[in-house]
Amino acid sequence: MNFDWTAEGPKLLELLYGVLAFLAVVGVLLLVLDKLPLRKDRWVAAAFLFPAGALLMIGLIIPAIRTTILSFQGASTFEAKWVGLDNYKWIFTQREALITLRNTLLWVVLVPLIATSIGLIYAVLVDKARLESFAKALIFMPMAISFVGAGIIWKFVYAYRPPGEQQIGLLNQIVVWFGGEPRQWLLDSPWNTLFLIVVLIWIQAGFAMVVLSASIKAIPTEIVEAARLDGVTPWQMFWQVTIPSIRPALIVVLVTITVGTLKVFDIVRAMTSGNFDTSVLAYGMYDYAFVRYDSGKGAAFAVLLFVLVTPIIIYQIRNLRQQRTIR
């Protein structure tokens, strides 16, 4: 492997052009604004929003519209044929697609709830404990691993070898130690989806823990002490002081994890490739659009995903606004 610096020259030059072109656009914009007699703030704001708006348009809005159009068209990647709502009808009637929907539902319900609960309990337990930061680092570490990496790690945990052979999977080795028969964890639906869900919980619990722990530490000491003086039990403290005080943080964590879960793709792809009834919406989208060349059905999955995420985002925005008015 020889790295040829001279061959990289043109690429670096192109990069330089790109950066300079960007600076030039901003420069011209500033120049024009400076010269124009208009001094209305609205115009200035509009002018500054323009580059970001244009990029959003090219990178987000136009593709979204195109995807929506594709979802009303037929299978061929190259010649458009209108099929109306057929692709959506297919999603809600065909067994394979229905299982994809069921799995997505399982993911979206279980991952945020369990990951947040684990994060919360852990945050409360280690709060002000000895070696608190070490304990936190332990659970936070999986956050640093990519989804694909995590998928591969857990694929090894679930690895199967027939009885009598040397087990290489941790879980089956434990089963064997306790006198059981090794099992094919990733084969039997719907349990295999639960085994995949564990992976995302493993990743996300650390995130929930960090945010909630910070929030718990921000509870004013007066409130905690007042409650103590009133003689609350730890149980009452948790439900009647801690939880209400960190409610906004809880919602943020739940919503963030929910949105992340809806998009889950890498774990399924790395561990089962959607086989054995483990597919989810985002994987179905990829599978149909890019492997089976059925862009219509792939796009329909994408639109459905978008529709499902939208209310969550709207809820989140409204929530943030309400908090701002309270303050």
Partner 1 sequence: MASTTRRLLLAFAAAGLLTVTACSSSSDTEAGKDNPNLDTAACSAYAAYKGQGLDGKTVSVSTSIRDTEADLLKQSWKAFTDCTGIKIDYAGTSDFEAQLPIKVQGGNAPDIAFIPQPGLLATFAKQGALKPASAATKAEAEKNYSPDWLKYSTVDGKLYGAPLGSNVKSFVWYSPSMFKEKGWAIPTTWDELITLSNTIAATGMKPWCAGIESGGATGWPATDWIEDIVLRDQGPEVYDQWVAHTIPFNDPKIVSATDRAGSILKNPAYVNGGLGDVKSIATTSFQEGGIPITQKKCALHRQASFYANQWPKGTKVAEDGDVFAFYFPAIDPAKGKPVLGGGEFVAAFADRNEVKAFQTYLASADHANSRAKLGNWVSANKGLDIANVSNPIDKKSVEILQDSASVFRFDGSDLMPAAVGAGSFWKGMTDWITGKSTKDTLDYIESSWPK
The contact set with partner 1 (CB under 8 A) reads 13, 17, 20-21, 23-28, 30-31, 34, 75-79, 96, 160-162, 165, 184, 186-187, 269, 273-276, 287-288, 290-294
Closer residue to partner 1, CB minimum distance, 26 or 320: 26
In sequence order, the 6+-apart residues with CB closer than 8 A to the CB of 89 are none
Q: At its nearest, how many Å lie between partner 1 and the CB of residue 68?
A: 18
Q: At its nearest, how many Å lie between partner 1 and the CB of residue 254?
A: 32
For 15, the token pair is 């990069």
CA distance 244 to 184: 43
Closer residue to partner 1, CB minimum distance, 112 or 274: 274
CA distance 90 to 245: 46
Residue 82 pairs in a beta bridge with 73
Closer residue to partner 1, CB minimum distance, 62 or 223: 62
SS3 call for 168: coil
Half-sphere exposure of 305 (CA within 13 A, CB side): 26
Q: At its nearest, how many Å lie between partner 1 and the CB of residue 37?
A: 15
CA distance 260 to 313: 12
Closer residue to partner 1, CB minimum distance, 114 or 159: 159
In sequence order, the 6+-apart residues with CB closer than 8 A to the CB of 284 are 97, 100, 274, 297, 298, 301
Q: At its nearest, how many Å lie between partner 1 and the CB of residue 107?
A: 20
Tell which residue, 266, 271, 269, 273, has the closest CA to residue 160: 271
Q: Which helix (H) or strand (E) holds 207?
A: helix 191-217
Q: At its nearest, how many Å lie between partner 1 and the CB of residue 193?
A: 15
Q: At its nearest, how many Å lie between partner 1 and the CB of residue 202?
A: 21
Q: At its nearest, how many Å lie between partner 1 and the CB of residue 66?
A: 12
Q: At its nearest, how many Å lie between partner 1 and the CB of residue 236?
A: 49
Residue 264 pairs in a beta bridge with none
Closer residue to partner 1, CB minimum distance, 13 or 214: 13
Closer residue to partner 1, CB minimum distance, 26 or 314: 26
DSSP letters spanning 71-101:
TTB-S-SSS--B-TTHHHHHHHHSHHHHHHH
Closer residue to partner 1, CB minimum distance, 170 or 214: 170
Closer residue to partner 1, CB minimum distance, 242 or 278: 278
The angle formed by the CA atoms of residues 250, 256 and 257, to the nearest 5 degrees, is 90
In sequence order, the 6+-apart residues with CB closer than 8 A to the CB of 144 are none
